[in-house]
A and B are shown apart, each in its own frame.
Chain A
Amino acid sequence: MDLDKLRKTAAEVVAREDVRYLLGWKKGTFGYRIAPGFVEDAESAAELIFSPLCTANLATYLTLTEKPPLPRGQEPDDRKVAVMVKGCDSRAVTQLLIEKGIERESVVIIGCPCPGVVDHELLAEKYPETEETAELKWSDKGFLLLQNGEETEIARDELLAEKCRLCRYPNPVVSDIMVGEPVETWEPDDDQGVAEVEGKNAEVRWEYWQEQFSNCLRCYSCRNVCPLCYCEDCILDRLNPTWIYRSVNFSENTAFNLARAFHLAGRCIECGECERVCPANIPLGKLNRKLAREVREKYGFEPGVDPEAEPFQASYKPDDPEEFIL
């Protein structure tokens, strides 16, 4: 990935009159941290980076932007928002387009073909984080870590994030501007996480999830970080009727996690953000991927690929499977 080209493109885009700001990744304050960058001028565009550390899905910010009421007589700012997307993030944008969560005219999509990002936890475990900001680059063998003036070659398989092992769309499916050459698609691994849970019998599965869900703090980070959880009136915040109580116990935690997973059925684009931000390390990705697989295999629907598609849960086919019906 040519960073100069990326920064030049970004500077050109933010210089456009119809663009409000650009969402990108920039270096964080220490170690392996990456911060989202809200770029408004060419100067800050020079801080942008794209590296294997850029795991965050910036499509979240498209719907997260607050729209406070305007003073009388003031016109809303209708300019476009530019966003830098990896393959998975571009699917989130596409899914937002499918659901009409955003309009195509309101975004400028800058596609960054992505050879796979790292698992931050694994990285920090194997190569301890220091205060100095480190750099990670893609190299021929995998990754190249630049830390405290030292260079370390790391094999790709060692640090590659789980979502990237299973990735089928490393290249952005939708973009206005592409930065860099498309990468070669790799053969996705079998989803062992889901297969492992499926292989157990019902009681063991229940106990497994009981253990996982009992750890849930109900911080709702998974909801807040999800690019597709953008309802203004979320079922979890609603008090009348209270579908899911706020008390932290197994029953409510299970209901919450199931509701969250279900609301993403046929919408989840498997960017793995929920799992990454979960402070209790609940394997939310397994729930999401299980449902995504069912949707793909049983209903032949893949979220976030075709912007013209009908949303999964708001459409039907007369020949949907119904072998479960008595």
Chain B
Amino acid sequence: MSANYEPNIVAFLCNWCSYAGADLAGTSRVQYPPNIQVIRVMCTGRVNPLYVMNALQQGADGVLVSGCHPGDCHYMEGNYYARRRLGMLKDLLEFVGVDPRRFHMSWVSASEGHKWKEVVEKTVEDAKEAGPFEGFRRRQIDW
């Protein structure tokens, strides 16, 4: 791993809280690492664990899923389901030896621009420590 290694991080943000929170961080000129590639989803309950796996296969070094705080979900309960599923996914990934620092989940509400910054900093720092994730890359076929 070179000294100036920059991790690639895919973030699945829920439309109603975390995406707005990240937007707020932007409009408030909060400085945070630019390693995040944001994918907006309508709810964290929509995040299929296969998305996380696919992101890791296609070149992500870390994945972040962020949504509304429990009880604040726009769809009433989507984030509760996500918490269960992704918690299980985290256990599974850890069991097969994927560094637990590569997958994070967080609750960031629309007003928490500063928390978003902290979450991103933590995620990027963890992914940096874990290093590039080469083992799981999908083999590219050049026809």
Contact = CB atoms under 8 A, between A and B. Distances in A.
A245 to B, nearest CB: 7
B138 A245 contact: yes
B1 interface: no
Interface stretch (B21-29, B31-39, B85-93): B85-93
Given A205-B97, A299-B84, A325-B106, A261 B92 contact: yes
A233 interface: no
B88 A291 contact: yes
B89 A313 contact: no
Main secondary structure of the interface of A (DSSP, over half): helix
Interface string A229-242: 00000010000000
A116 B94 CA distance: 32
Given A243-B54, A255-B57, A326-B119, A206 B83 contact: no
B116 to A, nearest CB: 11
Interface residues of B, number: 40
B3 interface: no
A321 B84 CA distance: 8
Contacts of A320: 80, 83-84, 87
Interface in B13-49: 49
Interface string A296-316: 001100000000000011101
Contacts of A198: 95
Interface size class of A (residues with CB under 8 A): 35 or more
Name B's interface SS: helix
B72 interface: no
B139 A247 contact: yes
A265 B88 contact: yes
Interface in B95-119: 95-100, 104-107, 119
Contact of B85 (A250, A290, A313, A317): A313
Contacts of B137: 251
Interface stretch (A55-63, A97-105, A157-165, A207-215): A207-215
21 contacts: A198-B95, A202-B94, A202-B97, A203-B97, A205-B96, A235-B50, A243-B50, A245-B138, A247-B141, A254-B96, A258-B92, A259-B49, A261-B92, A287-B92, A290-B91, A313-B85, A320-B87, A322-B87, A324-B87, A325-B105, A326-B106
5 residue pairs, one from A and one from B, having the closest CB atoms? A206-B97, A205-B97, A316-B80, A326-B106, A209-B96
Given A204-B97, A322-B83, A325-B105, 12 more contacts: A206-B135, A243-B50, A262-B92, A287-B95, A291-B91, A313-B81, A313-B88, A318-B71, A322-B70, A325-B83, A326-B105, A326-B119
